[in-house]
Structure 1
Amino acid sequence: MDQLIVTLLSTFHNGQWLSIIAHVKNYYKKLYYDNPERLKCASFVQEFRSQLIWSFAIGYGIYFSCCGYLEWSYSVRRQSQTVEWKCQPNKWLTWQLYLDQIKWGVVGLACTNIVSALFATNFTCGGYSTLYLEFNSYSWIWWILQWPIIFLYQDYTTYWIHRMYHSRFLFVNFHYLHHRYYQPTSWSVTALHPVEILTLQASSMLPVFVIPVHWLSFSLIILYNYYHGIIQHSGINLKPFWWQPWQPDVMFHDLHHKYVNVNFGFNCYIWDQIHDSIKK
Structure 2
Amino acid sequence: MIATKTKKAPTEGAPVFFIMLRNMLIGLVSTVATTLMGAAAKGDWLIMLVYLRGKDGPDKALPSFLAPSGNGTAEHTVFDQFLESHGMKHLHLFILMGIAGSFIIYYPVGGFWHWYYYVRQRDQAEEWKCQPNKFLSKENEAHAVMLGSFNMVLGGTLSGTIACYIVNGGYSMLYFNLWDYGIVYTVLSTMFVFLLNEWTVYWSHRIMHMPVLYKKIHKWHHRYIQPTAFTASAMHPCEFLLNQCIMAAPMFIFPLHVGSYVGVLLWTYYYGMRDHSGIISESPWPWQQDVMFHDDHHLYFHVNFGMNTKFIDMMYGTVRRKDREYSEDIFYGFGREKAENKAQ
> With structure 1 as the length reference, what TM-score do the two structures score?
0.90
Q: Determine the structure 2 residue equivalent to 1:109.
A: 152
* Equivalent in 226, 231, 253 of residue 188 of structure 1: 231
Q: Determine the structure 1 residue equivalent to 2:206.
A: 163
What is the CA distance between 1:66 and its match in structure 2?
Answer: 2.1
Letter aligned with residue 118 of structure 2 = S
What is the CA distance between 1:249 and its match in structure 2?
Answer: 0.7
Do residues 249 (structure 1) and 290 (structure 2) align? yes
Cα pair 1:6 1:66 within 8 Å, conserved: no
Q: How does 1:29-48 map to 2 (within 5 A)?
A: 42=84, 47-48=90-91
Q: Determine the structure 1 residue equivalent to 2:270.
A: 227
Q: Determine the structure 1 residue equivalent to 2:315.
A: 274
Identity between Structure 1 and Structure 2 (%): 33
Q: Determine the structure 1 residue equivalent to 2:306.
A: 265
CA distance in 1 between partners of 2:181 and 2:252 (Å): 16
CA distance in 2 between partners of 1:90 and 1:20 (Å): 39
* Equivalent in 44, 56, 77 of residue 120 of structure 2: 77
Q: Determine the structure 2 residue equivalent to 1:211.
A: 254
CA distance in 1 between partners of 2:30 and 2:236 (Å): 24
Do residues 177 (structure 1) and 201 (structure 2) align? no
CA distance in 1 between partners of 2:199 and 2:30 (Å): 24
RMSD (Å) for aligned C-alpha atoms: 2.1
CA distance in 1 between partners of 2:191 and 2:248 (Å): 16
Which whole-Å deviations, capped at 9, do the CAs of 1:77-136 have from their partners, x for residues lacking one? 212211010011011111101110111111122211111111111112221100111111
CA distance in 1 between partners of 2:29 and 2:145 (Å): 21
SS at match of 2:56: helix
* Equivalent in 43, 49, 62 of residue 15 of structure 1: 43
What is the CA distance between 1:22 and its match in structure 2?
Answer: 3.6
CA distance in 1 between partners of 2:31 and 2:153 (Å): 21
Compared CA separation, residues 149 and 238, structure 1 to 2 (3 A):
same
Q: Say how many residue pairs are matched.
A: 270
Q: Determine the structure 2 residue equivalent to 1:5.
A: 29
CA distance in 1 between partners of 2:204 and 2:27 (Å): 27
Cα pair 1:17 1:219 within 8 Å, conserved: no
What is the CA distance between 1:61 and its match in structure 2?
Answer: 1.5
* Equivalent in 150, 154, 161 of residue 118 of structure 1: 161
Q: Determine the structure 2 residue equivalent to 1:35.
A: none
Cα pair 1:24 1:133 within 8 Å, conserved: no
CA distance in 2 between partners of 1:123 and 1:224 (Å): 22
- Bigger share in helix: 1
* Equivalent in 130, 133, 141 of residue 90 of structure 1: 133
5+ residue gaps, structure 2: 1-22, 58-80, 322-344
Cα pair 1:25 1:124 within 8 Å, conserved: no
Cα pair 1:263 1:278 within 8 Å, conserved: yes
Cα pair 2:99 2:155 within 8 Å, conserved: no
Cα pair 2:55 2:167 within 8 Å, conserved: no
CA distance in 2 between partners of 1:24 and 1:163 (Å): 34
Letter aligned with residue 79 of structure 1 = R
Q: Determine the structure 2 residue equivalent to 1:60.
A: 103
Cα pair 2:190 2:256 within 8 Å, conserved: no
Which whole-Å deviations, capped at 9, do the CAs of 1:184-233 have from their partners, x for residues lacking one? 10000000111101111111111101111111111111011111111100
CA distance in 1 between partners of 2:56 and 2:165 (Å): 17
Q: Which is greater in Rg?
A: 2
Q: Which 10-residue stretch deviates more, 62-71 or 219-228?
A: 62-71
CA distance in 2 between partners of 1:208 and 1:45 (Å): 19
What is the CA distance between 1:26 and its match in structure 2?
Answer: 5.5
Cα pair 2:56 2:167 within 8 Å, conserved: no
Cα pair 2:148 2:235 within 8 Å, conserved: yes
